[in-house]
Amino acid sequence: MSKFRFIAIDGEGKERKGVVEAPSRQQAVKQIRSYGLTPARVTVVRPAGANDTSASAKGGVSPQAAKKPMYIGSAVKKKVLSEFTRKLATLLQAGLTLIRSLEVLKDQEKNVVFRWIQNSLVESIQSGSTFSDALANFPKEFDFLYVNMARAGEASGMLEVSLARLATYLEKTERMKSRLASAMTYPTVVMILSSIIVMGLLVFVVPSFKQIFIDEIGEDKMPMLTVYVLMVSEFLVAYWYVVIGAVIGLFVFKKLVGATSPGRSFYDWLKIKLPGLGDLCTKIYVIRFSRTLGTLIESSVPILEALRITRDACGNKHVMLAVDKVRNRVKDGEGIASTLTETKIFPTMVTSMVEVGEETGDLPEMLGQIADVYDEEVDNSISSLTAMIQPLMIVFLAAAVVLIVLALFLPFLSIMQSFGNG
C-alpha cells in the first residue's frame, strides 16, 4: 500500500486536502471519489530519502519520472499550450484515440519539458488514469480551468468539443494579452530613450559649460533657468548612485508592498478607480469574467465550480470578492445578474445582458457576446490611449531637451551682449 496526497473539490466547490492509502493511484482516485470529492490532483507520497526509482516502484509512477527535465515555474508558454489544445481537439475530431493523438503531438513537440509532460500524460492514461486526472499532476501547466474543462468533456463524452472551446478561450485570452503588451511597448521604449537622452545631457554635456559661464559672466549673473539646470546636473554627477538606488528601491518597495494582502488590495483598487485607466481595466476584468464563466458553463461544468474557477481567473482582489459574493448568492438560490448589480463593479450593460441570458436560458451565449463586445471596446480604448500617449512622450522629450538647450544658450547671449557693450 502506498500513500497518496490529494487536492480535491467538495460538493460546495471548496478545496479539500488530505492523504489516502491505496495499492495504486487509480484506486486512490476511486477512494477519493467515494468520499463525495472530485480529485484535482493526486500524487504519491515518497518515503523520506527514497530516490525517484524507488518511489516509482512503490507508488506506480513511471520510470520516466526519473528523467524529468529541470525547470523552474511553468516551462510551457500559454501560446504553446493553446496550440497544443487546438491540435489535440482537431486530432480527436478526426477520429484518433486520445493516446494516439497525444503520441502524435509528443513526437512533434520541440520543447523538451513539454514533450516529457505529454509522455507522462500518455503513461498515466495507459496505467488507468483519466485524462483530467493526468493533467492535474501538472498544475503549473494545466490550471483548474483546464482540468475541469477536460473533466466536463470526459463526463459528457464530448472531450473534443470541450477542448475546442478551451482552445478558443486560450487563443482569445492570449490575443488580448498580446495586444496589451504591444500597446505598451512603444511608450515604454520612448520613455526609456527619453530618460537616457536627458540624463546624458545633464551628466556629460551640461557640466562642461559651468566653468565657462562662471569665468565669463560670474555665478551671480547667471539666468535662474541655467542655475537650476546646473544644480540638477551637479547632483546627478555627484550622487548618481543615490538616483539609481532610489529607482531600484522604489521598484523593490512596490514589489514588497504588492506581495502583501493590503498592498495588493490597494493596487487592485487603483486599477479600477484611476481615471482613464480604471475604465480600461474594468473592461478587461469583464472580458475575463464573461469569457471564463461562459466557456465553463457551456462545457457543463457545475455553476458553483465554474464561479470558483472564474474567480481565480479575474486577477483583481476586488473583482474576486465580487465573484465570491455572486457565488454565495447563487448557492442560496439567487440569480447572477442581481448580485452583479450590487457589486457596483460590473457595468449596467453587463448585468442587463446576464439577466436576459438567465431568463432565456442561454447564459453561455450571452456571456460570450459580452466578452466579444468588450473585447472590441478594449481594442478601441488601447488604440485611443496609444494615440494619446505617443505624442505626449515626444512632447516631454522635446520640452526637456529645449529647456536644457535654452539653459545653455541664455548665458551665451549674456556673454555676447557684454562683448557688444565692451
- What CA–CA distance (Å, rounded) separates 162 from 92? 11
pLDDT > 70 fraction of the chain, expressed in percent and rounded: 91
pLDDT-based confidence at residue 355 (cuts at 50, 70, 90): very high
Query: What CATH number was assigned to the domain covering residues 177-422?
Result: 1.20.81.30
pLDDT-based confidence at residue 335 (cuts at 50, 70, 90): confident
At 82, the amino acid letter reads S
Of the given ranges (47-56, 70-79, 176-185), which has the lowest mean pLDDT? 47-56
**Do 192 and 396 contact (CB within 8 A), yes or no?**
no
Task: For 396-414, give one letter per residue: b (16+ CB within 10 A) or e.
Answer: ebeebeeebeebbebbeeb
pLDDT-based confidence at residue 13 (cuts at 50, 70, 90): low
Mean pLDDT computed over every residue of the chain: 84
pLDDT-based confidence at residue 63 (cuts at 50, 70, 90): very low
Per residue in 260-271, pLDDT (tens digit) is: 888 888 988 988
What is the pLDDT, as a whole number, of residue 64? 44
- What CA–CA distance (Å, rounded) separates 65 from 9? 26
Q: Any bridge partners for residue 5, and if so which?
A: 19, 43
What is the pLDDT, as a whole number, of residue 143? 86
Q: Dihedral sign for Cα 112, 117, 123, 125, please.
A: negative
Q: Which three cell numbers stand for residue 84?
A: 497544443
Per residue in 187-221, pLDDT (tens digit) is: 888 888 888 888 998 999 888 888 888 877 777 77
What is the pLDDT, as a whole number, of residue 53? 39
pLDDT-based confidence at residue 59 (cuts at 50, 70, 90): very low
Name the phi and psi angles at 391, rounded to 5.
-65, -30
Mean pLDDT over 124-141 rounds to 88
Q: pTM higher than 0.85 for the full model?
A: no
DSSP 65: G
The residues spanned by each domain of the chain are 1-67, 177-422
**Do 323 and 314 contact (CB within 8 A), yes or no?**
yes
Q: Is 16 helix (H, G, I), strand (E, B) or coil?
A: strand
Q: Dihedral sign for Cα 36, 40, 44, 49, please.
A: negative
- What CA–CA distance (Å, rounded) separates 389 from 88? 42
- What CA–CA distance (Å, rounded) separates 32 from 59? 17
- What CA–CA distance (Å, rounded) separates 3 from 342? 46
pLDDT-based confidence at residue 56 (cuts at 50, 70, 90): very low
**Do 264 and 258 contact (CB within 8 A), yes or no?**
yes
Whether 155 has a pLDDT exceeding 50, the answer reads yes
Mean pLDDT over 173-182 rounds to 86
Whether 314 has a pLDDT exceeding 90, the answer reads no
Per residue in 91-120, pLDDT (tens digit) is: 999 999 999 999 999 999 888 888 999 999
Closest CA to 105 of 81, 125, 128, 124: 81
Mean pLDDT over 161-170 rounds to 91
What is the pLDDT, as a whole number, of residue 48? 43
What is the pLDDT, as a whole number, of residue 367? 93
For the chain, percent helix, then strand, then coil, each to nearest 5?
75, 5, 20
**Do 348 and 375 contact (CB within 8 A), yes or no?**
no
Per residue in 222-256, pLDDT (tens digit) is: 888 988 999 999 999 999 899 899 989 999 998 89
Angle at 175 between CA 171 and CA 108, to 5 degrees: 45
